[in-house]
Every structure is written in C-alpha cells, then in structure tokens.
Amino acid sequence: MQADPHVLTMNNVSEISHFFLSGLNETRNYQLTLFFLTFLCYIIIILVNVCVVLTIILNNELHEPMYIFLCAVCMNALYGTAGFYPKFLSDLLSPVHVISYSGCLLQAQVLYSFACSDLSILALMAYDRYLAICRPLEYHSVMSKQRVITLVCLAWSMPFCIMAVNTILTYRLKLCSPYINRIICLIWSIVVLACFPSETTVNSVVAYITILIYVLHFLLIVWSYMFLIKTCVGSLENRRKFMQTCVPHLISLCTFSLTLLFDVIYIRFGSNDLPQMIKNFISIEFLIIPPIMNPLIYGFKLTKIRNKILSVATMKMK
C-alpha cells in the first residue's frame, strides 16, 4: 500500500504536513450553487461592514466611543471572515480539499481570535452604555477618545495573544491522522488527532481557562445590563436612550452568543448522527450571521449612522 505523501513517518509517529478537510465530501453535486451563494454572502459582508467603517471614519461627529466600538466590530468581522471565505471558495472549486499544517493553524488562530475579540468588544460596548446611562457625569472623563482607542487595541491584541498560546500548544502535538471531518480548521479538531492523549492535558487546561476568561466577559455584560435596566425603569428619557442604543447591542450580543454557543457545544459534545450539511452550518454560522447582522442592525437602528448613509446614497442618486 502506497504511503500518503502528506504524512511523513518518524519512529512510528506520523508527522503531518497537510490536512484533508472532509466536510465538503457530500456537497459535490451542488458545489457550484454553494459557491455562488457563499460568494454572494461574502460580498454582502464586505460591502455592509466597509460601508459602516467608512461612514464612521469619514464623519468627525461619529468619533464617539459607541461608534468607535461599532467600527471595531465591523473591522473585526472583515478580519475574521477573511480567514474563512477565500479558502472555502477555493475548496468549492477544487476536487480535493487540502490545507497545509501551518495554514490550518493560521486559520484556527484567525477564527478563534476573531470570535474572542468580538466578545471583548461587545463587553466594552455594554460597559460604555452602562457609563453613558447610569453614570452620565463621569462618562466623558472615563471614556476619553484616547482611552477608547487603547481599549479597542487591547480587545484585539489580548484575544490574539491568548489564542496564540492555544495554537502553539497545539503545534507541539504529534498527530496520527491528517483527516479533519470539517470544512474549517479549529484547534480542538486538531487536538483530537493527537497520538498520545496524555499530551493534550495542557491543551485542555488552557482551553478551559480561555473559556472561563470569556465567560467572565459575558458576566460583565450581564452585570452592566442589570444596572442599565434598573436605571431605565424609572426614567422615560433613559428608556428612550436604552431603546435607541442598547437594543441593537443586545440583538448583536444574543446573535453572536447563540451562534458561538451552538458551535462550542458541537465541538465538545457534537453528535455524529447529524447530517453533514447541518454540521457544516453549525461550524460556520458565527462567520455568516453576526458579520451580516451587526452592521445592518446598527445601520438601521442608530439614527446618526442611518442618516449619514442615506444622505450619501441620496447624493449619489442625484
């Protein structure tokens, strides 16, 4: 039997140089249709997110904390989806779905850091709304432009560093198979291929610490909204502010949290009885729904952004 050219055997342990992604094996009959829909989805994601980012950057009156955080969310969506869609579109046009080991780790690093950064920015947005509504006199001193930019940089860099630790720990493992039954590379999908389960103990510990860190982010959001709701109940003006600025954030948070929760549950406790198409959708829904929903929700709900976009569209039509 001929040896797999992508697996180099050393001391009875396989050194993997490439991975085979088998998640698309059942879609061969309608790959062109799937390619068109995926391409359309990616174009929409780019257009709506770039539209919001440029609207905020080019208008000085939108250089406020809430809009800077929104700009960061949209930029993060462009970063995260760039780690998935180009490779996926290429796979849909190819008979063999292969990715290099380094490319697989890079994709996992980008996708995980994107998801964690999104939650960090959503936590900052919740805290920003808490300060704006519950402690308005302190708001501008606490949320200065310089501090907001620093917080956004930390919301990007800290998740990247945390996930880099997970990625490096995965890289050290000796793997026994080059086959991943998914359409994307995720760290846990690589870890389960380890030849020696005892080597993955550190990976599991660091993974659970990472999950705990972002559960705390979620608890910060819940804490902020407990005070927000308590404050808004007795004030008509605060209720108006809540409906205008907090409802879009809550919709974004729920959308992101649910999509990520389904994916985490599937990764850890997923059933092999599910059809492959459903497995595929669960694994990438956090790359489809939030990147499209967030700019649309904020674009339509936040008056300043909606007015700016409509004014530009009106000028173009004249």
Each residue's pLDDT tens digit, 143-157 = 998 999 999 999 999
pLDDT, residue 4, reads 52
- Could you tell me if 35 and 89 are in contact, meaning their C-beta atoms sit under 8 angstroms apart? yes
pLDDT at residue 234 greater than cutoff 50: yes
pLDDT band at 45 (very low <50, low <70, confident <90, very high): very high
What is the C-alpha to C-alpha distance for residues 41 and 290, in angstroms, rounded to an integer? 12
Each residue's pLDDT tens digit, 154-194 = 999 999 999 999 999 999 888 888 888 888 898 888 998 88
- Could you tell me if 203 and 170 are in contact, meaning their C-beta atoms sit under 8 angstroms apart? yes
pLDDT at residue 128 greater than cutoff 60: yes
Q: Which residues contact 260 (CB under 8 A, 6 or more apart)?
A: 115, 119, 286
For 18-308, give the CATH class.
mainly alpha
5/190: higher pLDDT: 190
Query: Mutual orientation of helices 145-171 and 201-233 as an angle, nearest 10°?
Result: 150
How far from each other are the two terminal CA atoms of the chain, in whole angstroms?
A: 70
- Strand runs labelled E in 77-123: 98-100
Which tokens in the block code for residue 256? 């992101």
Rounded percentage of the chain residues whose pLDDT exceeds 90: 34
Residue 285: half-sphere exposure toward Cβ, Cα within 13 Å: 17
Q: What is the dihedral of CA 296, 301, 303, 309, to 10 degrees?
A: 20
Q: 232-263 burial, b if ≥16 CB within 10 A, otherwise e?
A: beeeeebbebbeebbebbbebbebbbebbeeb
- Could you tell me if 189 and 175 are in contact, meaning their C-beta atoms sit under 8 angstroms apart? no
Ranking 2-11, 22-31, 214-223 by mean pLDDT, the lowest is 2-11
Q: How many CB atoms lie within 10 A of CB 217?
A: 19
Domain coordinates in residue numbering, the chain: 18-308
- Could you tell me if 105 and 185 are in contact, meaning their C-beta atoms sit under 8 angstroms apart? yes
Nearest to 286 by CA among 92, 81, 110: 81
